[in-house]
Structure 1
């Protein structure tokens, strides 16, 4: 039952504009982006406009500790004239990653200001300039429920120029949209769970569909039971707030039967106590973000029409709240998933794979895609393997798909590290009672991936376990303290590339 809803109001983001040539009247705050090669060529003209020798300013700031490393800053107040301050921002080696960090630093500096005029180096490659715009958006992220001292608002407008007559507006706009997907996924993940439940997530998806040219279908608990979504129902049955299964469909203009078709499956656990296998208190803190995978799928779908994505995409979000109660599912229960496969429960805190199994099974059986990719904050074990904030885990049955996703991760800044799927470990999730168990001793992220692999059938499949990059311990680079919204920029970058499934299925 497809339905549309009222217009979705996107978060208030800074307006980022490209200005050919130096503006005749700039803002009261100017920013000069400094790379390892020194000041940009337009800095001389900017200095004349400001009545300031920027070479001398850079030398003075360097003498007191400033260096052009990515994201480094040094502010200099001006005591007369229309311009009241100049900020030097380091751009490092000028790579996309470095410029993303620089953009985020500028956004933090701009909080509470109406406008910044920013001078960058001429001839920046499109990918790096796009990353700069992404950083501006991501560094602006803010979320609170304060009634007192809410902090400074995001900068209203940032004008970018390299002093030339070139028009780079389209590159900037793409960067803003991709950055917005990261912001939106963060907002979903940061929303506290007393506000956010499976129905809330379905409402957000419905609102996004209304603005993004998507079709949305939502299964409530009655439809889930009628259609046999045993995993989602089991995980959600302990909560007074029932589960939902959400489907978002994007069909590009001019689509035919030969248009490549990708299905995304996102974990949408809106709060995870562990269920009857209760987490300790420390383990529950931050579990409001256990729906990061589902939120990143919604955020990704929000941008596809705006960016002209050429592939057909369906997003499936498996949403439930995992709570202990007299109606909660138990260790030793046997669950029958969508399509009939069974799982013996050994740990109710290994719930993500149970809901994801239903989504994968539905996607393979009903949609018959060319590729299926699931994304989740699935295991703590991936943090043990990969540490925090450097790489997310990537598992795949197809080398080309793994390579394409890894390339998108490198471009987007959400990097992936491919992990193995050894058949020898399948015995670790075997049981005489059911087709598999949901938890076992051994390499936890690998056995979780092997559990999901069985539900992907013969469709080229990838599993993204992003627990290792889902939360930042501090405001750093393009990240803010707390949830990162991991996956949205990665998936959007991948799906809006020229050929996201090139080579898939041909090995």
Structure 2
């Protein structure tokens, strides 16, 4: 499984009363390690570990100069029948969500290759710890795994069922987004992506409606190539015309009874990006199977809403296409007509994400009447240069929406930095033959104005109809280069936690 399965056990499962003469650590209860012989127990400067050990716990921590920082671990061998077990004293820092998330990930990674790890939860909100532990077990591999994560995670605590369920639901949603994004493009065509997204939400790849329980209706619809042509989704058709795998537009609907607010999420779903005739260099092309990360996030978020119980109406749009090159591919200097009638001069076919997003944004404005629109996309390499690998970018036309998303990002542990929409840069999008150009007219990326991520956002804004809108550029944060913390090498699923925190 992509993340390890988990169970919740009562706190009594972690300790057992033993005769005083056999108790370690000054008479503390001795640990029940479980079948795998691995028990993790929290501590901090304000929290003493609840575990019996062969030596006094305070002296042990002093010996290792352990301070209880988030993710700090002191490993202690203990008797486990005829074998040797391990107790992991794990630091939880200040007990904040970010500290607990880090602690959970550190502990879960210590269980790698084992049958199970038993984690004693601290008091209070622990959803972030559960989320961190499970995400650290994520594994995507086609073929036999070289080193498997822990087979099962046992969380131990009382009156924490809701917290464990929330943490598990969010981790599973992130895992689903990572799975879609990590899947090779030899499998992941636009049609395949559409089927997986629809199946995830309504249970069948054919679409239709489903009762989500608690007064919630779930629905899914897919536009194939013929429908896109009939309804004039010119951006999707232009980007996809060079590939043997035709484009798709996916609409996923979450409708709870009594909803008074409607949010539309739009995800870029480029299942592979060669750059088209404006061909990418080989090194830049290696990871382009992840160029649909935004679409994966949208599908994962819609699929998790019912479990988390939000009462906001949410519609997800995934604009899916493969940007390839062939005799039928669009050419630099082509003029296309986007959904709704705006014309665009395509000066660089590698600026394709904004073309498919523009169709979806224009459709949302014209047909869905949302109160707010948020798009998410691996849109520009420029944003990775500006903000690096730890911060996503948010561009927004509404200060309140920007503040809500930034606050949700901080709570969820996904860094986000607001970037400006600079009006002086709007002339960069002027075209002599169309309403707009898809990059700076007559130049390569950023030659005069620079700020490629800003001009890309300004382009998208043209299709939002003046509604409250935010654009999340996740090109720098959508992929991890290493197994570390909650991340595994490959897709990060960035945006799932942020958007679920915002909506739920």
Equivalenced residue count is 465
For residues 107 and 183 of structure 1, do their structure 2 counterparts lie closer, same or farther at Cα, with a shift above 3 Å needed?
Answer: same
The corresponding residue for 2:374 is 373
The corresponding residue for 2:486 is 478
Which of these residues, 137, 141, 156, is aligned with residue 138 of structure 2? 141
Shift of 1:89: 2.2
The corresponding residue for 1:156 is 152
What TM-score comes out, normalization by structure 2 length? 0.88
State the alpha-carbon separation in 1 of the partners of residues 452 and 128 from structure 2.
34
Shift of 1:98: 1.3
The corresponding residue for 2:475 is 467
Counterpart contact for 2:242–2:323, Cα < 8 Å:
yes
The corresponding residue for 1:236 is 240
Shift of 1:157: 2.8
Is 1:409 the counterpart of 2:409? The answer is: yes
- The structure whose RCO (Cα within 8 Å, separation 6+) is larger is 1
For residues 404 and 83 of structure 1, do their structure 2 counterparts lie closer, same or farther at Cα, with a shift above 3 Å needed?
Answer: farther
1:96-127 deviation line (CA, Å, top 9, x unaligned): 111101111122122333332223433x3x2x
Q: Which has the larger radius of gyration?
A: 2
Which of these residues, 58, 61, 65, is aligned with residue 64 of structure 2? 61
State the alpha-carbon separation in 2 of the partners of residues 233 and 306 from structure 1.
35
Shift of 1:192: 1.0
State the alpha-carbon separation in 2 of the partners of residues 239 and 135 from structure 1.
39
Task: Could you tell me which runs of 5 or more consecutive residues in structure 1 were left unpaired when the two chains were aligned.
Answer: 1-9, 497-507
Shift of 1:490: 0.9
* Large movers: runs of 4+ above 6 Å: none
SS in 1 for 2:61: helix
Is 1:19 the counterpart of 2:27? The answer is: no
Task: Could you tell me which runs of 5 or more consecutive residues in structure 2 were left unpaired when the two chains were aligned.
Answer: 17-31, 204-209, 213-217, 441-445
The corresponding residue for 1:78 is 78
Counterpart contact for 1:197–1:241, Cα < 8 Å:
yes
Shift of 1:451: 0.1
Shift of 1:11: 4.6
5 Å-filtered alignment, 1:230-309, equals 230-252=234-256, 254-255=257-258, 259-309=260-310
State the alpha-carbon separation in 2 of the partners of residues 370 and 85 from structure 1.
53
1:201-245 deviation line (CA, Å, top 9, x unaligned): 111112112248321101111111111010011111111111110
Counterpart contact for 2:3–2:134, Cα < 8 Å:
no
Shift of 1:70: 2.3
5 Å-filtered alignment, 1:53-452, equals 53-62=56-65, 68-81=68-81, 84-122=85-123, 124=124, 126=125, 129-147=126-144, 149-161=145-157, 166-211=158-203, 213=212, 214-252=218-256, 254-255=257-258, 259-389=260-390, 391-440=391-440, 441=446, 442-452=450-460
Q: Which moved more, 1:105-114 or 1:15-24?
A: 15-24
Counterpart contact for 1:30–1:83, Cα < 8 Å:
no
In angstroms, what is the RMSD of aligned CA positions?
1.9
More strand by share: 2
